[in-house]
Amino acid sequence: MSWWRFITILIVILVGILLLKPTYEWYFVVPESDKALLSLPAEEVSKLSPEVKKRYMEVKQLRNSTVLGLGLDLRGGVYITLEPDPVDMTNFLLEKYEGDIEKVRANYAEELEGQVNVMLEVLRNRLDQFGVSEPVIRREGGNKISVELPGVSSPAQAREAVSKAGKLEFKFVDDELMKGVDRRFLNEYGYIRDVNEFLSNYSLPADDEILGYYESDEYGIPVLKGFIVVKKEAV
């Protein structure tokens, strides 16, 4: 065996070891208690101590690295198939095109394709927050989407995570009301400190509502900074 061949084989082995290191750490080094942190909702994570938050981010970064996943055949888990409801889709398009059935028929295929693509993106984002380490999301024949969640032991929780409708809304802050709030009802960040205290001193307009305001901390975890008054109607 030539030296070049020996060196090439050695390099391949070393690269393989380096690539498998995150996988080894994930399955044999990281305690299950640390892995369980990833399944906590954002509200619970924000309440963790700085030390635990740091560990949470370390585990999350490791999980998102080149860890090789074990499929349903090796780890068990949940398999779900999703498909757009044709009735809901038709009703959505009828509303969008103001009852013009011809436009609905002409644009149905294109609109359906767009909705399936949106569903794929929403699922990928949602399952990352759900704490699943190796989700497999793929589009199957037609408009079906299959989701494999290895290691997930709660089918009901998994189904809720992938089936819950995602919704993005933009709402205006009621600047006039917020500017008139006495500073003793605001916290250090300039947001409402306590909702009950605020409502006992101010009358909330019928077209307003109070929502929590969150900012990401140094660990990328949403933290409640206070509450703000916004218009109910989305723009």
CATH of the domain at 126: 3.30.70
Q: Are residues 155 and 84 in the same domain?
A: yes
pLDDT digits (tens, 9 = 90+) for 154-166: 677 677 667 665 5
Predicted confidence (pLDDT) at residue 227 exceeds the cutoff of 70: yes
- Same domain? For 179 and 223 the reply is yes
Taking only the tens place, the pLDDT of each residue in 196-218 is: 999 989 889 999 999 888 777 66
State whether 154 and 83 are in the same domain. Answer: yes
Residue 64 CA to residue 90 CA, distance in Å, equals: 38
Please tell me whether residues 213 and 149 are part of one structural domain.
no
Q: How many domains does the chain have?
A: 3
> Does 80 lie in the same domain as 57?
no
Instruction: For residue 169, tell me if it sits in a domain.
Output: no
Classify residue 149: in a domain, yes or no.
Answer: yes
pLDDT for the residue numbered 210: 92
At residue 40, the pLDDT reads 73
Give percent of the chain with pLDDT exceeding 70: 77
Q: What is the mean pLDDT of the chain?
A: 79
Q: Is residue 42 part of a domain?
A: yes
Query: What's the pLDDT tens digit per position in 101-142?
Result: 888 888 888 888 888 887 887 777 666 655 555 677 888 877
Same domain? For 79 and 118 the reply is yes
What pLDDT shows up at residue 229?
92
Round to whole Å and give the CA distance between 230 and 191: 12
Same domain, 37 and 79: no
Kindly state whether residues 109 and 148 are assigned to the same domain: yes
Please state the pTM of the whole predicted model. Answer: 0.47
Express each pLDDT in 48-92 by its tens digit.
888 888 888 888 777 766 666 666 665 667 788 888 888 888 888
**Residue 57 domain-assigned (yes or no):** yes
Query: Which domain range does residue 97 map to?
Result: 72-163
Give the list of residues 6+ apart from residue 62 with CB closer than 8 angstroms, or none: 22, 25, 26, 30
The answer to whether residues 76 and 159 belong to one domain is yes
